Amino acid sequence: MQHDLTPPQACGSMAELRAAIDVLDRRLVALLALRQSYIERAAILKPARGSVRDPDRIEQVVRNVVREAAAAGLSPAIAEPVWRALIEASIAHEYEAFDAKA
């Protein structure tokens, strides 16, 4: 069910603010689940377990995210560590998916 999102400045109470954050969290979970499905597909497409961790790609993703964060008004102090944690969890999941295909 899609809910309209009340802009932060229009929230008149903590309950309204928390309800909006809950809507955002549901949207983020759905996007992260979709991202995970791409990670799982990568495990199928990669020919060798050693190609799961790609340091150059990790840094490229972080640079892209920090640039997008700046454009969107998201603090890099939030964006970078969140994405680095997401990347590490994704790599661990990809190793599991890679091993499961063997």
pLDDT on residue 1: 45
What span, in angstroms and rounded, lies between the C-alpha atoms of 20 and 50? 42
Model pLDDT, residue 4: 82
Residue 83 has pLDDT above 70, yes or no: yes
Confidence at residue 58, expressed as pLDDT on a 0 to 100 scale = 98
pLDDT the model gives residue 102: 72
How close are the terminal C-alpha atoms of the chain, in Å? 38
Instruction: List, in order of start, the domains of the chain with CATH numbers.
Output: 8-101 (1.20.59.10)
Q: Are 87 and 39 in contact (CB under 8 A)?
A: no
Predicted pLDDT at 3: 62
What is the pLDDT averaged over residues 76-87? Answer: 98
Read off the tokens for 95. Answer: 């190793």
Place of tokens 């603010």: 17
Q: Model confidence over 27-75: pLDDT tens digits?
A: 999 999 999 999 999 999 999 999 999 999 999 999 999 999 999 999 9
pLDDT of residue 21: 97
Q: Among residues 62, 83, 66, which one has the least CA distance to residue 74?
A: 66
Read off the pLDDT of residues 13-33 as tens digits, 9 standing for 90 and up. Answer: 999 999 999 999 999 999 999
